[in-house]
Structure 1
Amino acid sequence: MVDESRIPAPEAAPYVPEDDEVRARVQAMTALGASSRDGGDYPLAESRLRAALTLAEAAFGDDSVEIAAPCNELGMTLRYAGRFEEAAALYDRVREVLERRLGPGHPELASVYHNLGGLAHARGDLSAAEPAARRAVTIRERALGADHPATAADRGALAAVVLALGRHDEAAESLRAVLTVFERTYGPGHHEVAVVLHNLGTAEYAAGRVEDAAGSLARSLSIKEKVLGADHPELAATLCNLARIRQEAGDLDGATALYRRAEGVLRGVVAAGHPTLLLCRQALSHLQSARRSAGSASE
């Protein structure tokens, strides 16, 4: 655990720790911030990661390799919070630093391209999302091999983009292969398995296999609840997809309950314009109108 009281105040006597000590401190602060994000506390994660980034910049310079990890993790945090422009600037900064310092094909860049693809996907810019996601797969596969779980994770991110582009069967086939790797590597109850199941359920739904989709999404939700807790903001997307299935089956009460829960886990955590939060509120408004119309028709 990092003892932050050891960081000297401005008026303290000069203190110049060895570079390795500062690197360790930056790494620990970055890990702590990432842990806060994974726990769903985006404001605390942002604060901790900004502190790590500031320390890295002060110790090693604005364009040092050492700024890459806190900068990348901060970008992920802001993306999850719906602050896409800020996240994009951070990812681009990391990419530029790593390409200049390590070379354009260095394995460290795979994670950056993975995140750039995911951000472009979240923003709806699929023309930028697919090449970035493919670049991540190419770099990672060259470094680690086709069957490595990190390569599988990149393939899963690419499959999500392919799904959004309407190539449902291609996406589903790729996601099943990723699921096999993750279940073998991590076990059936791991968070990464839940993420793949969510995307697989989305692909199955888009291909018209609604029953299969409901099963994959329900399993994803169950794993996320056990791993992340019942109020984690990451549950929202899966809740929304399950709600849509309920709504189209005519179960307006069930759909309303799921959308309300999704809206609840996002409220106050993500930006007001976050697309999933807006989707929840629009769906709830539509369902309320539908229920009023149904009530009037029955009178």
Structure 2
Amino acid sequence: YESQGKYEEAEPLYQRALKIRETVLGPDHPSVATTLNNLAGLYESQGKYEEAEPLYQRALKITETVLGPDHPSVAATLNNLAGLYHSQGKYEEAEPLYQRALKIRETVLGPDHPSVATTLNNLAGLYESQGKYEEAEPLYQRALKITETVLGPDHPSVATTLNNLAGLYHSQGKYEEAEPLYQRALKIRETVLGPDHPSVATTLNNLAGLYESQGKYEEAEPLYQRALKIRETVLGPDHPSVAT
């Protein structure tokens, strides 16, 4: 339901799952933290940041206490909480959380684990939001290398990083460097996920934006139209991504 933007249908299910787990497993069980993370993510998707933050904080406290401060589940919650701060423009609060999550994942999972690439992507995105393009690029590049090596050149996670790196180049006006990355991301997503997947729509939207920035309006329009059609069909006519 959350993936479809049916937030009102999703919330009572998360709430019920939380109540069951708290009652049966106890308020400090790791499974409670998992549901807290999910419910917080739902609130974050709706822009209810003040409701999301205490849930992430509680999930973090549970995982740190029960599993230890260097457990991968702690890193996952740090990553989520940092993302919340990032969304609110609280960059100084987000960065140390991403850095700590990165350190945990590199230490426990190894420097070339896909979860390391996820945090590198997130930290790079934070730097990009601040206009720190020179700091962001090597992180995206490292994330790309990890995912290509470990998961293969045609994995959806590779497409995600290509999309992000292309966005960085787009922001810098490096249009010729951005376009082939968007094109490759689009090809991967169409092949692996299918031509009507929401992630395909995201890349179409981004590539169209690149063409628009260059004044290539005739090339941009059919991509926007296709992205709109995919999102309306798959996500429903009233989904936030349709509005975008």
TM over 0.5: yes
**Residue 60 of structure 2, aligned match among 83, 95, 98:** 95
Map Cα deviations across residues 226-272 of structure 1 (whole Å, 9 max, x no partner). 333444444454333212211122222332333344455556959x7
Q: Which runs of 5+ in 2 are unaligned?
A: none
Does the 8 A contact of 1:191 with 1:224 survive in 2?
Answer: yes
**Residue 141 of structure 2, aligned match among 156, 168, 176:** 176
Residues in 2 aligned to 1:226 and 1:90: alpha-carbon distance in whole angstroms: 37
In structure 2, the partner of 1:41 is 4
**Higher radius of gyration, 1 or 2:** 1
Moved more, 60-69 or 195-204: 60-69
Map Cα deviations across residues 129-166 of structure 1 (whole Å, 9 max, x no partner). 22221121022122223222222221121111112121
**Residue 162 of structure 1, aligned match among 127, 138, 141:** 127
Does the 8 A contact of 2:86 with 2:94 survive in 1?
Answer: yes
Residues in 2 aligned to 1:244 and 1:201: alpha-carbon distance in whole angstroms: 11
Q: Which amino acid aligns with 1:143?
A: V
Does the 8 A contact of 1:202 with 1:213 survive in 2?
Answer: yes
Asked whether 1:239 is paired with 2:204, we answer: yes
Structure 1 residue 187: Cα displacement? 0.9
Residues in 2 aligned to 1:125 and 1:235: alpha-carbon distance in whole angstroms: 30
User: What pairs with 1:96-175 in structure 2 (closer than 5 Å)?
Assistant: 96-175=61-140
Moved more, 166-175 or 177-186: 166-175
Q: SS where residue 256 of structure 1 aligns?
A: helix
Say if 1:151 and 1:170 are closer, same or farther in 2 by CA, change over 3 A: same
Q: TM-score, normalised by structure 1?
A: 0.68
Q: SS where residue 208 of structure 1 aligns?
A: coil
Moved more, 171-180 or 53-62: 53-62
Residues in 2 aligned to 1:86 and 1:229: alpha-carbon distance in whole angstroms: 35
Paired residue total? 241
Map Cα deviations across residues 96-118 of structure 1 (whole Å, 9 max, x no partner). 22233334333321011112222
Say if 1:119 and 1:263 are closer, same or farther in 2 by CA, change over 3 A: farther
Between the two proteins, what is the percent identity of the paired residues?
A: 35
Structure 1 residue 201: Cα displacement? 0.5
In structure 2, the partner of 1:185 is 150
Q: TM-score, normalised by structure 2?
A: 0.81
User: What pairs with 1:63-102 in structure 2 (closer than 5 Å)?
Assistant: 63-80=28-45, 84-102=49-67
Does the 8 A contact of 2:113 with 2:150 survive in 1?
Answer: no
Does the 8 A contact of 1:42 with 1:81 survive in 2?
Answer: no
Map Cα deviations across residues 261-284 of structure 1 (whole Å, 9 max, x no partner). 4455556959x795x666x3xxxx
Residues in 2 aligned to 1:218 and 1:86: alpha-carbon distance in whole angstroms: 38
Residues in 2 aligned to 1:261 and 1:125: alpha-carbon distance in whole angstroms: 34
In structure 2, the partner of 1:257 is 222
Asked whether 1:53 is paired with 2:18, we answer: yes
Does the 8 A contact of 1:81 with 1:269 survive in 2?
Answer: no
User: What pairs with 1:263-274 in structure 2 (closer than 5 Å)?
Assistant: 263-266=228-231, 269=235
Structure 1 residue 84: Cα displacement? 4.4
Structure 1 residue 193: Cα displacement? 0.7
Say if 1:189 and 1:178 are closer, same or farther in 2 by CA, change over 3 A: same
Residues in 2 aligned to 1:83 and 1:233: alpha-carbon distance in whole angstroms: 23
Residues in 1 aligned to 2:190 and 2:43: alpha-carbon distance in whole angstroms: 23
Residues in 1 aligned to 2:229 and 2:77: alpha-carbon distance in whole angstroms: 31
Say if 1:224 and 1:121 are closer, same or farther in 2 by CA, change over 3 A: farther
Residues in 2 aligned to 1:162 and 1:190: alpha-carbon distance in whole angstroms: 25
Residues in 2 aligned to 1:244 and 1:136: alpha-carbon distance in whole angstroms: 32
Q: Which amino acid aligns with 2:127?
A: V
Q: Which runs of 5+ in 1 are unaligned?
A: 1-35, 281-299
CA RMSD of aligned residues (A): 3.2
Q: Which amino acid aligns with 1:99?
A: E
Residues in 2 aligned to 1:212 and 1:139: alpha-carbon distance in whole angstroms: 33
